[in-house]
Amino acid sequence: MKKALLLTTLLTLPASAVLADSYTVDPDHTYVSFAINHLGFSTMRGKFNQQSGSLEYDFAAKVAMVTIEIDAASIDTGHTKRDQHLNSPDFLNVAENPTISFKSTKAGWNGNKLDSVTGDLTILGVSKPVTLKINSMHCGEHPFSKKQVCGFDAEASIKRSDFGVNYGLPALGEVLDLQIELEATKN
Amino acid sequence: MDDFLSRPEFQSAVIPFIVGLLFYFGLRKLSAYAWGWAVFSAFLVSAILINGFTLTPLTGTRKIILLILASFIVVALVRHLITNSNLQRMLLPVIGVAALIWVFWKILIRMGFLGTATFLAGGVGLLLWLLWAFDRIGNDDVRLHGAGFSLLLGTGLAVTAGASALLGQLTLSLAAASGGVFLAWVLVGKASGSSSSSAVTGGFTYALAAALLGLAGVMLARLPWYTLIPLAAIPSATGLVPKITDSRFINALVTNIPGLIIALATYFWVWRLGGASAGY
């Protein structure tokens, strides 16, 4: 009975999850930022100050799965009243939707190089597929902690109206350029 | 045309005011509930301009829009099917409380017991107080609709100052719709067939909309909860000034002065609490 249960469990797990190394996102060295056109005059930038997540990564097996959860209320554009407005029902509605999340579903490889990660981005409770373009990635031993660390720089562009963030359109830009710089420490 | 329709002042003031005014003129001789259908129509147009046609995701704000529109239909049905005013007085608060819980459910389930209890005590208390206060002036169309207009105006301005332009626009559009219909009523009189038996239902939409939008300003934006207290006094305040003539126009102006003063003073208070800083 126990053997049957163990076999069933192993068979239902994706083989990649069994083989890949697990990493926990280092919130002190992970940055999620964005840029948006402001009324046609200039580009407004902002970031989120609190995020967490995990990374499953195995270069040899070509496995890369990433989950990021962002505290929507931690948005920071350098202006308190603007941040309060962004938290309101006009934009992120953080009281009802406190978390923005990205959960990958597949990884794109270009030879031996991780090229992209596609997954579901959820904002305001609406999930849409988004592909993060990986600009650089490196895994290795941290020189101080001696722990195995993986990190990447990624970017994507989304249309906020796809997620129901419609206020201020078309005057306030529709396209949001996302940048994610992530570091994760092996468990 | 798109530029015109996308401007907040047209979406939330000019268009609902004109639509409300014209619809009341058109419906006055056709329906005893002309006031309700005129405000309903004007708010519907405004809500579509502000929110668009989409209802997904079904946020608290969109639930409020649906409930305000539904409240007119509920009132029409209650007036038609339930003529006993005591039964109306029992049913409408139940509907109102259910609406309140539905709007804020996503937030309530994440709050602790104390937070939920505090919100329900305050929110339900506010709603029941407003229903009672409007019921007391329900037989007097001048005070009823004047108080409704002032309450929505004050709530809309306060919510806008409390960091949600969207909630503010919706509230102000309802205020403008009510104002347009009120002006039409002042000019041409009440609808054919309207009677004092509808007094209980007269203030339901005002009370429900002001409670939901004001509480949304507190829970979803940054409106301080205590700023709802003076606003809640508006229906009672309109009863302070006695009528001095038989002129609808003069009575409409005079009896609603206290309500307008409270509305504007509350807005100024919220604006000052917010730091009185300029926009960004």
DSSP readout, A7-73? HHHHHHS-HHHHHSEEEEE-GGG-EEEEEEEETTTEEEEEEES-EEEEEEEETTTTEEEEEEEEEGG
Q: Which residues from chain A sit within 8 angstroms of residue B277, using beta carbons? A: 81
Residue A56 Cα, gap to closest chain B Cα (Å): 30
Does B171 touch chain A if contact means CB atoms closer than 8 Å? no
CB-closest option in A81, A93, A170 to B220: A93
- State the residue range of the domain holding A48: 22-67+79-186
In a domain, A10, yes or no: no
- What is the Cα Rg of chain A in Å? 18
pLDDT score at B54: 83
Does A43 touch chain B if contact means CB atoms closer than 8 Å? no
Structure tokens at B134: 């409007």
Does B52 touch chain A if contact means CB atoms closer than 8 Å? yes
Q: What is the CATH number of the domain that holds A125?
A: 2.40.128.110
Residue A87 Cα, gap to closest chain B Cα (Å): 8
Q: Is the pLDDT of residue A13 over 70?
A: no
Query: Into how many domains does chain A fold?
Result: 1
More confident residue, B55 or B180: B180
CB-closest option in A84, A96, A166 to B107: A96
Residue that the structure tokens 């959820």 belong to: A122
In a domain, A11, yes or no: no
DSSP letter (8 states) at residue A13: S
pTM (2 d.p.): 0.88
Instruction: Determine the Cα–Cα distance for residues B142 and B252; give it in Å rounded to an integer.
Output: 6
Residue A35 Cα, gap to closest chain B Cα (Å): 17
Q: Do B164 and A126 touch (CB under 8 A)?
A: no
The ipTM assigned to this model is 0.83
Phi/psi for B249 (5° steps) reads -65, -50
What chain A residue is nearest to B106 in terms of C-alpha separation? Answer: A96
pLDDT tens readout for residues A125-158: 999 999 999 999 999 999 999 999 999 999 999 9
Residue that the structure tokens 């992120």 belong to: A92
Share of chain A above pLDDT 70, in %: 90
CB-closest option in A79, A81, A96 to B59: A96
In a domain, A17, yes or no: no
Domain ranges within chain B, ordered by starting residue:
2-273
Residue A124 Cα, gap to closest chain B Cα (Å): 7
Q: Is the pLDDT of residue A72 over 70?
A: yes
Weakest-pLDDT range from A114-128, A156-170, B167-181: A156-170
Cα end-to-end distance, chain B, whole Å: 27
Instruction: Determine the Cα–Cα distance for residues B93 and B96; give it in Å rounded to an integer.
Output: 5
Does A167 touch chain B if contact means CB atoms closer than 8 Å? yes
CB-closest option in A79, A125, A170 to B280: A79
pLDDT score at B277: 47
Residue A134 Cα, gap to closest chain B Cα (Å): 30
Phi/psi for A145 (5° steps) reads -80, -20
Check: CB of residue A186 under 8 Å from CB of residue A149: yes
Q: Is the pLDDT of residue A3 over 70?
A: no
